[in-house]
Amino acid sequence: MQKPLRSILNEIDAKHYILENAKKYQIQRNEIELTQKQLESYEKQLENFNR
C-alpha cells in the first residue's frame, strides 16, 4: 500500500530537520545513519509516487 503524498512529504521534511539539527540535539551517530536511510527510502517513495 502506498502512503499518501502528504505523508511522504512530511516524513522527508522531518528527516531533513533531524539531520540538519543533529548536532544541536546531540543525536547519536547510529540514529543519524538510520535517519539518512529512512530519508532515502521516503525519497524513493516520492519518485515512485510521481510516476
DSSP state of 22: T
Helices 29-49, 5-20: crossing angle, 10 deg rounding: 150
**Assigned C-alpha cell, 26:** 546531540
Comparison of pLDDT for 1 and 35, the residue scoring more: 35
Question: How much is the pTM?
Answer: 0.88
For residue 2, the model assigns a pLDDT of 62
- Phi-psi category of 26—alpha, beta or left, where left has phi over 0 and alpha has psi -120 to 50? left
Kindly tell me if the per-residue pLDDT of 11 is higher than 70. Answer: yes
With b meaning 16 or more CB within 10 Å and e meaning fewer, what string describes 9-32?
eebbeebeebeeebeeeeeeeeee
Q: How confident is the model at residue 3 (pLDDT cuts 50, 70, 90)?
A: confident
Q: What is the pLDDT of residues 23-33, one digit of tens each?
A: 999 999 999 99
